[in-house]
């Protein structure tokens, strides 16, 4: 056959196909038959392609291209027809549903807000290169008091203020335990423990459970959570304390927070400060939340007393450091506007499920 | 402590408003916790003279009086919003009065109609038992000038009729500061002089009060024979000054003094007692006054300071009787005790209206001993408050000089002589302050001139050396002992607000990860992800809890699995007990998280139909036998105590017809362990038969064992225990030792190639004898199938009569090829035979 005849034949096949596909009643089977007949393995089309080898390279190129294009066209048309059939057979109306009917809920639990605050604090400080340290919750007198430069006769050591543990005795009444144990009254008890094992420069935070023997009301709890920060180096100073606190609180409250130091007194720091941040509600202008002061009192801070370094085995006046201890409850209450500290330990799911 | 603004103003010479003073002190010195305006609200009260007193015709206890209040050009009272007084120009008022201490001719404060008194009473024209009354005669307390309500306040006969009482009394409006003085400043700032000095410093002015000028005249100290003083215990009493004053006229203090006492919260009594309090408030030195007549023994005036004898008794001013012991210090006249040193005076030696000669005491007592005595005896006074904070012994001299001055003025008293026993005189100490250190610690460069200026204003003398300042610390600043103390002084006066935030210079290096804490965080995340809500509980519970939960004497590693009855415990571990718990409900330190979790269940069970809760926290136990040095140390290296980190999860379902609660929680445990990368094949759930009184259900419990180590337990709570907590649903709990769990958890996940070849699933179901356990069936399937069994999934189980029906999907496959169905058939046949042979099950075909 000549190239002209071949061309004609291909075009005729195409016309024939187009005519036929218009005529047939569209169905999956009919289309399958049609496809088999026109472009299937045993179709005329394929035999044309098979015979191309008898042509000159130039003819082969021309006819080959035409045949391929035509074949692809036919495939395309059949594919489109199939899609038409599929969408025609789908009756969407029948599937209509009421989307306002409640779905099936997945139950996800809730963290206690103290945990939420604690996790945020840990994340901010970890990002600033602080290690998270911890220590025992039953502490001996040395770490809880002596090592912190708290004098023997300091009122904090009173039965009224500290949960001392009854000492263990033998059958004959002699004492078994070598130490006076108490539930730790501050996370600062970890300071000397950590410093004994690590040399400066160091920066840690210590989040944890603390205990003080005081009557509970809306703002007081005998069991509470603190987070201690301790930074020791050769020339750590008050400016560093201000910087670190400002950075931390700004990150924690996700807004620009100012810090303010006021003179205070703690045996384990000198100088000691009361630590305020600008009110997170009004930004310092004065509002109900800050009792019109513009500042929120957060806790105590100061430069580590040299006696504490000495207790931890560091030489006097070699290092400088700052420390602070803030209550997690206070931060959680400020952030979530919780008005009663007792809720944290209430075990009431109506409370926990809100966070 | 309360401070009068007027007084501070006079001492410091400040011109600042109370608000400004408050702000300055708060930012640089002391925290002002409260501020209260003290206004003398008796504007309608005038001086009146009693012209006539008659019996009230209708009331025995009342009298009719006629009072001359003089001529007024304007109404004496003009209450806001009230009616103007009808008595302008009127001179004589009829007033009904009940008090008996009045006589014709007395001058008295008269509240005219329309006056609103400080106690809130509004004076109106009234008819009392048929007699008209146009005002009220006032007692002291009704004017807000004290608590005396014994009778009408009789004024001096020289008082001018018609003069406003406020003017006559010389009362001034004031502002009261409530200042929180912390222990470091309790030595000097519990006095008006101390706070006034701060104000002067903050205003950059030299303190004008002549503190140094308060010196005893030597002459009267040396040759004074009429009083002898002996200190027997020089450790407990480092100084004793006794001064004698004669011809004392006991009377009321002048009203300016009363006002200041009242402002500071002290009740005026008489001019001598008031003077001791006044000087204490001014200078911070507690003082005492004795009636010389009552303390002289054998015609000698002598004071001996000695320890009390055991069981010695002392009757205090307030009539209470103390039983003392050898650690208490007494002021005696050689025979009888006169006062509990530094704490409170005795009843017998006190001042009364007949006192003529007084002995004034200004002394210094050991702070620690005062604190111990007052704590043990339960007597806390303004005096003990100050002494227990340790005060400067040199202050005693200043105080005695000051009180003599005051009493010469207010009691017409004459100074007779003084004895001062002061064996070890305290001298100012010196501190070398490194100027470089000041800047290094504060993080700001403060000019040398500023540093010395601040120190000098504070009363610290300075001598400059190269790079150093030698500071001479006045003895009244007991708190200043180190360079850091001085740096604090410089920093606060200079102003902490001026210190700029400075980034730390040390490089930030990645923080060491605290593995246990981050594992606990992960557990929390998983639990919350599984729908559990987090509980925070106290670390304490009651004795009843220990009994209800049968916890006493159980070793922590046994109660983890809550398995063994206490008797069988080798290491008998006891609860720690609080020495003074808040209440009996919180007496024991928890050895298990479960009791408080059960209380949480109780709290919520009537609000929520089903719920899941968890807690991550520590349990604590005491190891008596470990204390004696057997070598046990807890993770912090301590002997005698053990702390364990635990995770507890608990579940309550809406309905449970069989054991859904248990299996629900077990599913959670399985998912948890899977999430932690612990392979099912390494986990063993080992049940135990427990005694009937056990915390966990005797036959619904299992130890969770991973790689042969017990890491936790799962079980239902014993229904008998639940009954004690009034819980009427099934409760399932699981408990893990967090650190053990962490050790068996996979540290690092390793990728396994995906299954390339198709797998085949075959089902098998069977009827087994009642005692047959799922694990036995699974084990046989796995044993027979070997490598070809990829998964055994139970999809159905139910009990029928005495039998259990089990149904499983078994998934077969191989990693390197497609299995032929013949191979699978062979394995299935063998599985069936073995199950039938070994477990006598009936496989459904």
Given CA atoms A236, A239, A241, A245 in this order, what sign does their dihedral have? negative
What lies within 8 Å, CB to CB, of B772 at 6+ separation is: B804, B839, B841
Q: B4: burial class by Cβ within 10 Å (0-12, 13-18, 19+)?
A: buried
What pLDDT does residue B93 have? 87
Subunit contact B185:A209, Cβ cutoff 8 A: no
pLDDT reading at B583 higher than 50: yes
Provide the domain count of chain A.
2
Pairing of strands A131-132, A202-211: parallel
Asked whether the predicted pLDDT for residue B777 surpasses 50, the reply is: yes
In a domain, A274, yes or no: yes
Write out chain A residues lying below 8 Å of B654, CB-based: none
Higher model confidence: residue B288 or residue B681? Answer: B288
pLDDT at B84: 44
Contact state of A111 with B534 under an 8 Å Cβ cutoff: yes
- Range with the largest mean pLDDT of A120-129, B420-429, B525-534, B833-842: B525-534
Please state, in angstroms and rounded to a whole number, the distance separating the CA atoms of residues A279 and A257: 8
Minimal Cα–Cα distance from B471 to chain A, Å? 18
Per DSSP, the three-state class of B710 is strand
Question: Across chain B, what does the average pLDDT equal?
Answer: 88
To the nearest whole angstrom, how far is the Cα of B25 from the nearest Cα of chain A?
9
Does residue A157 sit in the same domain as residue A220? yes
Q: Is the pLDDT of residue B158 over 70?
A: yes
Between B502, B511, B622, which is nearest A168 by CB?
B622
pLDDT per residue over B101-132, tens digit each?
888 888 999 988 888 887 788 888 888 888 88
Return the pLDDT at B558. Answer: 45
Contact of B807 with B763, CB cutoff 8 Å: yes
Which of these ranges, A166-180, B313-327, B369-383, B551-565, has the smallest mean pLDDT? B551-565
pLDDT (mean) for B392-410: 94
- Both A128 and A231 in a single domain? yes
A interface mutation test: which of B202, B374, B443 has the most A CBs within 10 A? B443
CATH of the structural domain B45-169, one choice from 3.40.50.2300, 1.10.8.60, 3.20.20.100, 2.40.50.140: 2.40.50.140
CA separation for the pair B563, B553 (Å, rounded): 13
For chain B, the structural domain boundaries read 2-32+176-202, 45-169, 218-421, 429-495, 515-744, 760-843
Q: B709: which strand partners?
A: B706
Note the Cα A119 to chain centre separation in Å.
8
Find, in chain A, the residue whose alpha carbon is nearest to that of B441.
Answer: A237
Cα torsion at A80, A81, A83, A88 (round to 10°)? 140
Cα–Cα distance between B42 and B62 in angstroms, integer? 24
Comparing alpha-carbon positions, the chain B residue that sits nearest to A259 is B497
The answer to whether residue B565 scores a pLDDT higher than 60 is no
Taking the CA of residue B194 and the nearest CA in chain A, the distance in Å comes to: 16
**β-strand pairing of B461-465 with B468-473:** antiparallel
- CA proximity to B276, closest of B297, B263, B290, B259: B290
pLDDT digit string, tens, across residues B812-841: 999 889 999 999 999 999 999 999 999 999
What is the per-residue pLDDT across B695-722, written as a single tens digit (0 to 9) for each? Answer: 889 899 999 999 989 999 999 999 999 9
Retrieve residue B132's tokens: 């008209």
Report CB contact under 8 Å: A352, B534: yes
Residues A343 and A255 in one domain: yes
- CA–CA dist A156, A150 (Å, integer): 8
Tallying the residues shown for chain A, one arrives at 355
CATH architecture of B2-32+176-202: 2-Layer Sandwich (3.30)
Q: Is residue A157 part of a domain?
A: yes
Is A101 a domain residue? no
Would an 8 Å CB–CB cutoff place B730 in contact with chain A?
Answer: no
Task: Using the predicted structure, report yes or no on whether residue B19 has a pLDDT greater than 90.
Answer: yes
Mean pLDDT across B794-804: 89
Domain contains A174: yes
Asked if pLDDT for residue B75 goes beyond 70, the answer is no
CB B842 within 8 A of CB B767: yes
Task: Tell the residue number behind the tokens 């007033």, with chain if given.
Answer: B95
A203 and A339: one domain? Answer: yes
Pair A10, A67: CB distance under 8 Å? yes
User: A109 and B527 in contact by Cβ < 8 A?
Assistant: yes
Domain match, A172 and A299 both: yes
Q: Do the annotations mark residue A270 as ligand-binding?
A: yes
The alpha carbons of chain A give a radius of gyration, in whole angstroms, of 40
**Three-state SS sequence of B404-434:** HHHHHHHCCCEEEEEEEECCCCCCCEEEEEE
Q: CA B112, CA B89: separation in Å to the nearest integer?
A: 13
B441 and A238: CB-CB below 8 Å? Answer: yes
One CATH from 1.10.1370.30, 3.50.50.60, 3.30.70.380, 3.40.50.1820 for B760-843: 3.30.70.380
| Residues A66 and A155 placed together within one structural domain of the fold | no
Chain B residues whose beta carbon lies within 8 Å of the beta carbon of residue A222: 538, 582
pLDDT at B567 over 60: no
- Measured in angstroms, the CA of B635 and the nearest CA of chain A are apart by 8
Q: Report the pLDDT value the prediction gives residue B196, as an integer from 0 to 100.
A: 96
Q: Would you place residue A175 in the very low, low, confident or very high pLDDT band (cuts 50, 70, 90)?
A: low
Asked, for residue A9, whether it belongs to a domain, the answer is: yes
pLDDT of residue B387: 95
Least confident stretch, B205-214, B381-390, B531-540: B205-214
Q: Is A111 on the interface with B (CB under 8 A)?
A: yes
Characterize B637-661 residue by residue with b for buried, 16 or more Cβ atoms within 10 angstroms of its Cβ, and e for exposed: ebbbbbbbbbbbbbbbbeebeeeeb
Radius of gyration, alpha carbons of chain B: 42
Question: What is the pTM (predicted TM-score) of this model?
Answer: 0.82
pLDDT band at B165 (very low <50, low <70, confident <90, very high): confident
Confidence of residue A118 (pLDDT cuts 50, 70, 90): very high
Q: What range defines the domain where residue A131 resides?
A: 113-352
This complex has an ipTM of 0.83
Query: Which of A46, A66, A95 corresponds to the end of one domain?
Result: A95
Note the pLDDT of residue B220: 53
**Model confidence over B617-651: pLDDT tens digits?**
999 987 655 444 455 677 777 877 888 999 999 99
Measured CA to CA in angstroms, residue B220 lies from B217, B247, B468, B561 at distances of: 6, 18, 43, 83
Residue A42 lies in a domain: yes
User: Are B636 and A114 in contact (CB < 8 Å)?
Assistant: no
CA B72 to chain centre: 56
- Among B277, B284, B283, B285, which residue's Cα sits nearest to residue B261? B277
Average pLDDT score over residue span B70-80: 52
Residues A157 and A210 in one domain: yes
> Rounded mean pLDDT of A333-350?
94
Task: Place B146 in a pLDDT band, splitting at 50, 70 and 90.
Answer: low
CATH number assigned to the domain with residue range B429-495, chosen from the 4 options 3.40.50.2300, 3.30.56.10, 3.40.50.2000, 3.30.750.200: 3.30.56.10
- Is B757 part of the contact surface with chain A (CB cutoff 8 Å)? no
Q: Mean pLDDT, to the nearest integer, of A237-242?
A: 96
pLDDT of residue B684 exceeding 50, the answer is: yes
Intra-chain end-to-end CA distance of chain A, in Å: 83
Q: DSSP string covering B28-80, please?
A: HT-EEEEEEEE----TTEEEEEEEEEEE-TT-TT-EEEEEE----SS-S---T
Determine the average pLDDT of the residues in B491-495: 96
Q: Classify residue A106: in a domain, yes or no.
A: no
Domains B2-32+176-202 and B429-495 share a fold: yes
Task: Write out the CATH class of domain B515-744.
Answer: alpha beta
What's the gap in Å between the CA of A99 and the closest CA on chain B?
Answer: 25
Is CATH 3.50.40.10 the right assignment for the domain spanning B218-421?
yes
Same domain, A42 and A186: no
H/E run at residue B229:
strand B227-231
A171 touches chain B (CB under 8 A): no
The least confident of B70-79, B305-314, B415-424, B537-546 is B70-79
In terms of CA atoms, which chain A residue is nearest residue B489? Answer: A271
Is A178's pLDDT higher than 90?
Answer: no
Do A82 and A163 fall into the same domain?
no
Give the domain-ending residue among A64, A95, A126.
A95
């Amino acid at each position: 056959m000549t190239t002209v005849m071949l061309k004609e034949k291909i075009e005729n096949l195409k016309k024939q196909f187009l005519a036929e596909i218009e005529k047939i009643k569209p169905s999956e089977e009919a289309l399958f038959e049609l496809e088999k007949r026109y472009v299937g393995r045993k179709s005329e089309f394929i035999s044309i392609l098979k015979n191309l080898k008898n042509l000159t390279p130039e003819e082969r190129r021309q006819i080959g291209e035409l045949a391929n294009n035509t074949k692809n066209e036919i495939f395309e048309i059949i594919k489109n027809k199939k899609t038409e059939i599929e969408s025609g057979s789908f009756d969407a109306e029948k599937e209509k549903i009421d989307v306002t009917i409640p779905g099936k809920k997945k139950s996800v639990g809730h963290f206690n807000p103290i945990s939420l605050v604690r996790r945020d604090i840990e994340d901010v400080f970890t990002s600033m290169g602080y290690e998270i340290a911890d220590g025992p919750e039953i502490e001996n007198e040395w770490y809880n008091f002596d090592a912190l430069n708290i004098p023997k006769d300091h009122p904090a050591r009173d039965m009224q203020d500290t949960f001392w543990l009854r000492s263990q005795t033998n059958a004959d009444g002699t004492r078994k335990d070598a130490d006076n144990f108490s539930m730790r009254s501050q996370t600062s008890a970890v300071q000397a423990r950590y410093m004994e094992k690590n040399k400066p420069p160091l920066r840690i935070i210590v989040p944890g459970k603390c205990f003080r023997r005081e009557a509970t009301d809306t703002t007081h709890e005998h069991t509470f959570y603190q987070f201690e920060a301790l930074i020791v180096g050769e020339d750590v100073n008050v400016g560093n304390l201000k910087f670190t606190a400002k950075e931390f609180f700004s990150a924690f409250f996700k807004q620009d927070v100012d810090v303010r130091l006021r003179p205070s007194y703690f045996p384990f720091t000198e100088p000691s400060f009361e630590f305020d941040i600008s009110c997170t509600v009004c930004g310092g202008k004065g509002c109900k939340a800050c009792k019109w002061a513009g500042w929120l009192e957060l806790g105590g801070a100061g430069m580590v007393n040299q006696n504490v370094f000495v207790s931890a085995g560091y030489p006097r006046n070699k290092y400088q450091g700052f420390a602070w201890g803030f209550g997690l409850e206070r931060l959680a209450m400020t952030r979530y506007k919780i008005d009663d500290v007792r809720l944290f330990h209430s075990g009431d799911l109506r409370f926990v499920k809100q966070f | 402590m309360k401070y009068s603004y007027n007084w501070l103003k006079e001492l410091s010479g400040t011109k600042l408003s109370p608000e400004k003073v408050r702000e300055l002190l708060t930012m640089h010195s002391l925290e002002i916790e409260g501020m209260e305006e003290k206004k003398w609200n008796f504007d309608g009260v005038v001086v009146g003279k009693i012209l006539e007193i008659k019996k009230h015709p209708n009331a025995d206890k009342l009298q009719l009086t006629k009072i001359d209040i003089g001529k007024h050009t304007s109404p004496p009272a003009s209450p806001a919003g009230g009616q103007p007084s009808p008595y302008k120009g009127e001179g004589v008022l009829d007033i009904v009065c009940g008090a008996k201490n009045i006589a014709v001719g007395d001058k008295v404060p008269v509240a005219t109609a329309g006056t609103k008194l400080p106690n809130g009473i509004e004076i109106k024209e009234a008819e009392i038992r048929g007699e008209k009354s146009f005002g009220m005669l006032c007692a002291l307390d009704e004017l807000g000038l004290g608590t005396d309500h014994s009778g009408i306040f009789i004024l001096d006969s020289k008082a001018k009729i018609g003069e406003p009482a406020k003017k006559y009394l010389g009362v001034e409006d004031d502002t009261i500061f409530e200042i929180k003085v912390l222990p470091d400043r309790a030595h000097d700032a519990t006095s008006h002089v101390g706070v006034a000095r701060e104000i002067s410093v903050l205003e950059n002015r030299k303190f004008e009060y002549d503190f140094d000028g308060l010196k005893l005249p030597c002459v009267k100290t040396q040759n004074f024979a009429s009083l002898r003083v002996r200190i027997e215990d020089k450790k407990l009493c480092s100084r004793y000054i006794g001064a004698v004053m004669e011809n004392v006229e006991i009377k009321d203090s002048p009203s300016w003094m009363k006002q200041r006492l009242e402002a500071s919260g002290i009740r005026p009594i008489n001019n001598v007692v008031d003077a001791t309090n006044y000087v204490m408030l001014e200078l911070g030195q507690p003082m005492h006054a004795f009636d010389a007549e009552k303390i002289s023994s054998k015609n000698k005036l002598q004071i001996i300071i000695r320890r009390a004898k055991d069981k010695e008794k002392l009757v205090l001013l307030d009539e209470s009787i103390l039983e003392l012991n050898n650690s208490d210090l007494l002021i005696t006249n050689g025979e009888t005790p006169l006062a509990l040193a530094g704490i409170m005076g005795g009843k017998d030696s006190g001042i009364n209206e007949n006192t003529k000669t007084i002995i004034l005491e200004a002394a210094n007592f050991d702070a620690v001993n005062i604190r111990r005595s007052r704590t043990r005896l339960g007597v806390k006074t303004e005096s003990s408050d100050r002494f227990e904070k340790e005060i400067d012994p040199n202050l005693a001299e200043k105080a005695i000089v000051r009180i003599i001055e005051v009493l010469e003025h207010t009691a017409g008293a004459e100074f007779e002589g003084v004895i001062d026993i002061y064996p070890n005189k305290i001298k100012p100490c010196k501190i070398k302050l490194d100027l470089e250190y000041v800047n290094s610690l504060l993080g700001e460069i403060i000019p040398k001139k500023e540093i010395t200026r601040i120190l000098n204003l504070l009363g610290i003398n300075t001598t400059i050396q190269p790079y150093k300042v030698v500071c001479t610390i006045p003895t009244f600043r007991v708190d200043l002992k180190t360079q850091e103390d001085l740096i604090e002084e410089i920093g606060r006066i200079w102003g902490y607000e001026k210190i700029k935030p400075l980034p730390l210079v040390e490089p930030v290096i990645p923080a060491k990860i605290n593995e246990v804490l981050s594992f606990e965080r992960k557990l929390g995340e998983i639990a919350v992800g599984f729908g559990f809500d987090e509980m925070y509980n106290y670390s304490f519970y009651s004795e009843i809890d220990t009994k209800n939960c049968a916890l006493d004497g159980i070793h922590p590693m046994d109660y983890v699995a809550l398995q063994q009855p206490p008797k069988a415990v080798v290491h008998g571990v006891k609860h720690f007990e609080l020495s003074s718990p808040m209440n009996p409900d919180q007496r024991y330190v928890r050895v298990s998280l479960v009791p408080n979790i059960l209380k949480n269940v109780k709290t919520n069970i009537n609000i929520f139909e089903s719920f899941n809760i968890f807690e991550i926290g520590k349990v604590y136990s005491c190891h008596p036998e470990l204390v004696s040095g057997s070598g046990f140390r807890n993770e912090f290296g301590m002997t005698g105590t053990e702390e364990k980190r635990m995770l507890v999860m608990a579940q309550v379902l809406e309905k449970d017809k069989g054991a859904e609660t248990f299996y629900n929680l077990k599913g959670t445990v399985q998912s948890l362990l899977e999430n932690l990368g612990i392979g099912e094949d390494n986990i063993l759930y080992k049940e135990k038969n427990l005694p009937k009184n056990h915390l966990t259900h005797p036959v619904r419990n299992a130890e969770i064992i991973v790689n042969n180590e017990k890491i936790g337990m799962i079980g239902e709570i014993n229904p008998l225990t639940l009954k004690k907590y009034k819980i009427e649903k099934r409760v399932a709990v699981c408990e893990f030792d967090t650190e053990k769990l962490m050790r068996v958890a996979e540290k690092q996940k390793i990728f396994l190639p995906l299954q390339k070849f198709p797998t085949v699933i075959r089902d098998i179901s069977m009827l087994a004898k009642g005692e047959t356990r799922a694990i036995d069936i699974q084990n046989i399937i796995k044993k027979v199938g070997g490598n070809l069994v990829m998964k055994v999934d139970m999809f159905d189980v139910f009990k029928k009569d005495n039998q259990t029906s089990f149904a499983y999907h078994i998934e077969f496959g191989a990693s390197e090829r497609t299995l032929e169905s013949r191979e699978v058939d062979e394995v299935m046949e063998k599985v069936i035979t073995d199950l039938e042979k070994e477990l006598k099950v009936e496989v459904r075909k």
